[in-house]
Structure formats: structure tokens, C-alpha cells
Amino acid sequence: MSVVRYGSASPHRVNPSLPPPSSSAGLGGARILIVDDDRLSSSVLADMVSKEGHDTFIANTWTEALELFTKHEIDLVLMDAVMPTVDGFKLTGILRKRTTTYVPVVFITGLADSKSRLRGVESGADDYLVKPIDALDLHIRLIAMLRIRRLTHALEVRTKRLALLANIDNLTGLLNRRSLEERLADEVSQAILGETPLSALMIDIDHFKAVNDRHGHAVGDVVLATVGQVLDETVHTEDLAFRYGGEEFIVLCPATTLQQAKDLGERIRILFRQRTHALAPAGEQTLSIGVANTAELGLHKLGRTAEFETTLLKAADQALYRAKNEGRDRTVVATLPVG
């Protein structure tokens, strides 16, 4: 296994062939960060850990520790409790705030008294190893802590998957209305704080009721799923696409001008018509799209998130209504005033 000291050239994963400890391959090949201001002690410990089959990263200052912890997917931290400037107690608290995943921390220290142990636990440490370190004690701690890491990681992944499923529309694969209600406020707040434009596209399938009535809901579902595929292919990575309800969809485009949003609407509209042209028996279908932009509406002057949200979506909806009235199968941009 490899030992990487701070500042040496190394890839994101020291050995890409090694699986994380959360995999079915077991507890080998973990990425362990050693934090100790004593270079000799840290090197000796790194050699011991490497013999256990793990990759090690060595930091001799608290700033080096922060950088390595942030850059690499660390599975376990072995931390010296007594260090200059920022000791292990404070640094553990800082590391805990820097990650959303649970990474076990074991103190490596000569402080074996009960008060020091209590302080370590209160600061976020999970266990202690007292210097001089015994190889068997180290082996036991690594097994126990990496087992915790593996189990908590698996739980975190499962929780994230469940949260994702709760916010996904099963038919189209897009985010659902519940997700829109959760994400819209965040996108609006970022637009206000950053003083950047936020565009919204309101999309509706033309004459969709006729598709269901004439061909049945199974064919209608194919048409809806096609919208999801088209949006997945056309919207940018930073954009958010939602199924708003029924045959209506919304796309939020951060840092996007009105013209850019209109161009996106046209790409969506044309591609959807091309894709559905090959769908039998429903045949070619069309979209009407309304586009609104916060900068064009002057919404940054409001400074109030709720009113900002309401006005933006209302303007996009009114533009969609105009697209329908003007003959459908077109993209229309919102104009002032919004009423």
C-alpha cells in the first residue's frame, strides 16, 4: 500500500484499483489520514497502517490536514491530540463540520487520563490509542473503526437513494412537483444574492387530452416519457427539470439570459416534435413553451424570495398561455407587465 505525505504528487485515489471500505470487498484498501506534527512518529505510524493493507496520507500541520481531508475521500483519521496552534481536539471539531458523511476519528496520544479521554469524545473523537502504539491494538482499532465507516456509509447511501426516489417522477425520470417546491426557493435565493438572472420555462404538451382519449393512457405515457428523455438530453447540467403535473413541465435555468432560455426552449420543442414523429399510433406531437427571466422582469429589486418565485412562474405561465392562443407549437417570452 502507498504512503502519501502532504505536498507529494498523488492522484485523487492513491490506488484506483482499491475499493472503498463500504464495498463488498471488505475492510482493506481504506484511505487513512494521519495527523501528527512529529514527522518521525507520523512516518512510523504510516508504515504500520500500510502493513495492514491501507493507503495513508500524512499531514504534519492542521492546515495540511484540512486540505488532505477536503481533497480525498478519507475513511479514517488517526489524530495526534497535542499539536501546536490547533490541537487535535479543535481540529476534530473542524473536520466534523467540513463533511456531510461520517468519518471515524481515533486520537493517537500520550494523554491516557480520563479527563483527556472525555474531552476527546466530546470534541468528536471515537476512540483512543495511547503511545507507544502496540501493533495489535492498532489492528483492532482499524477493524472496528472501518467497520463503523462501512456501515454508516452504506446507510448514508441508502438514505440518499430513498430521498432521491421521493423526489423523482417515476414515468419521466424528472424531478417532481414536491422537489420543485423544495428547490425553487434555493434557486431564487442564489439568484438574488448573486444578482444573476434566473430563467424559467413552462412547457405543456399540446392537445394531450386528445392523445389519451384517442389512443389510451398507455400511449399517453409514452408521450410523457418522451418529454423526460428530451429534457434530459437538452438541458444543461446545472439546470433543473421538473414534471409539474399532468402534461406540464418546468425547467429552471440559473445564470441564464432570456435569449439563452428561449433558444433552449426552441431546441426542446423541435427535438420533441422529431422524436414523436416516429411514435405510432400517436404520431407527431408538439409543445407550447413560455419563458420568463428575472432580469427582464426586474425581480432583483424585490429582494423577497416568495414574491420573486410567484412572479417568475406566473410570468412563464402567462407566456405559455400566449403560446397556446397564438397557435401552439411555439416558444413565447414573457413581457411586462405581469398581472
| Peptide bond just before 11 cis, omega within 30 deg | no
* CA 298/CA 301 separation, integer angstroms: 6
Which of 64, 247, 296, 309 is catalytic? The answer is 247
Q: Enumerate the H helices of the chain as residue ranges.
A: 39-51, 62-71, 88-97, 114-123, 135-166, 177-194, 208-215, 217-234, 258-277, 294-297, 305-325
Bridging pattern class, strands 248-254 and 240-245: antiparallel
**Contact criterion met (CB below 8 Å) for 108 and 36:** yes
Distance of CA 127 to the CA centre of its chain: 30
- Residue 290: what residue type? G
* CA 300/CA 13 separation, integer angstroms: 43
Residue 226 CB partners (closer than 8 Å, separation 6+): 272, 275, 276, 279, 285
Residue 100 in grid coordinates:
456531510
Active site residue 73: no
- Picking from 299, 339, 295, the residue whose alpha carbon sits closest to that of residue 318 is 339
Query: Please, which contacts does 296-302 make with residues 24 or more away whose CB atoms are closer than 8 Å?
Result: 296/197, 296/258, 296/333, 296/334, 296/336, 297/334, 297/336, 297/338, 298/336, 300/191, 300/192, 300/195
**Contact criterion met (CB below 8 Å) for 320 and 332:** yes
**Contact criterion met (CB below 8 Å) for 85 and 62:** yes
- Residue 62: what residue type? W
Residue position matching grid coordinates 487535535:
88
Catalytic residues: 247
